[in-house]
Amino acid sequence: MLCEFDYLAPLNLPELFDALAAGGPDARILAGGTDLLVNVRAGLVTPKTVIDIKKIPGLQGLEYNEKTGLEIGAAVTVNQIAEDPRVQKNYSLLVACAESLASYQLRNRATVVGNIVNASPCADMAPALLCYEAQVVITSKQGSRTVPIREFFTGVKKTVLVPGELVEKILVPATYAGASGSYEKLKRIKGHDLGIVGVAMLKKDGLVRMAVSSAAPTPIIVKDCKASDSAEVLAKAALEAIKPIDDVRSSKEYREFMVQVYVKRLLERV
């Protein structure tokens, strides 16, 4: 590593918040490490203290209840979601997004919560969580607050989190459990590339809901459509929601074009 730091592994939340307070702006929370350690190596962050949250038993939970839905603790990995039979049965879109994220060995470490806290526009877990109307439970020394995922992202790599706060868990309500859903993502190669553009679609009863990654400063939700709407109507709704840019990976026009292709493809499959 380019910078030297101390490693702390608190065993409960009070210890964690004390460590965060003591470390101040030079402390970083470590969950899977698949973003943090890449950024440390690149010199983008230079923490003096790294606080591992994986030894806190309360953050390991992955619970499902028919009435209240799914609870994803901060230390739950992306592969745990993808391989859990209860998630597979009830939240197919979460599984599709999870399986599209990086490579198998990376998913063994990367956490679902870490993916949204990193708040990349191309965060793969975000489109699914947006479609399912997930709630983000944010905890600090002062207590907990719950923020809908739609209000969680505020910009490129920016969220509503303030210093001293931890995303303790994500709640995925049971409202859309069992709904049919899927995710299509464009990238140059499978396994080790940032997404160029991604579209998630969830269908339940008369409703079609879509969310798009890598096509705006944040992962973005599209206004609800009807199951009877044509692919053209759905694609138009998606295009109205997104604000893609030209960058090294793709032009704005190509992203817009592929969103339309994916909407059509998903409508046939979902």
Partner 1 sequence: MKITVTVNDQVYIRDAAPSKNLLHFLREDVGLTGTKEGCGAGECGACTVIMDGKSVNACLVLAPEADGAVIRTVEGEAVMGELSDVQQKFMEHHAVQCGFCTPGMLMSIRDLLQRTPKPSEHQIKEAIEGNFCRCTGYQQIIEAVLDVTGQLTKDNKGELRHV
Which spans of this chain sit near partner 1 (rule: CB under 8 A)? 1, 3-7, 9, 30, 32-34, 37-38, 40-42, 50, 52, 54, 79, 102-106, 108-109, 190-192
Chain center to CA of 37? 18
Closest contact distance (angstroms) between CB of 97 and partner 1 is 16
Strand arrangement, sheet containing 69-73: 62-65, 69-73, 166-172, 135-140, 143-148
HSE on the CB side for 31, CA within 13 Å?
Answer: 25
Is the separation of the CB atoms in 214 and 175 below 8 Å?
no
Phi, psi of 212 (to 5 degrees): -125, 135
Closest contact distance (angstroms) between CB of 47 and partner 1 is 9
Closest contact distance (angstroms) between CB of 35 and partner 1 is 9
The rounded distance, in Å, linking the Cα atoms of 168 and 138 is 6
Q: Which of 5/183 has CB closer to partner 1?
A: 5
Closest contact distance (angstroms) between CB of 166 and partner 1 is 18
Q: Which of 188/223 has CB closer to partner 1?
A: 188
Closest contact distance (angstroms) between CB of 204 and partner 1 is 29
Q: Which of 163/191 has CB closer to partner 1?
A: 191
The rounded distance, in Å, linking the Cα atoms of 99 and 107 is 8
Q: Which of 109/141 has CB closer to partner 1?
A: 109
Phi, psi of 226 (to 5 degrees): -100, 150
Closest contact distance (angstroms) between CB of 44 and partner 1 is 12
Q: Which of 36/138 has CB closer to partner 1?
A: 36
Q: Which of 80/213 has CB closer to partner 1?
A: 80
Is the separation of the CB atoms in 178 and 90 below 8 Å?
yes
Phi, psi of 59 (to 5 degrees): -100, 0
| Residue 152 φ/ψ region, left for φ over 0, alpha for ψ in the -120 to 50 degree band, beta for the rest | alpha
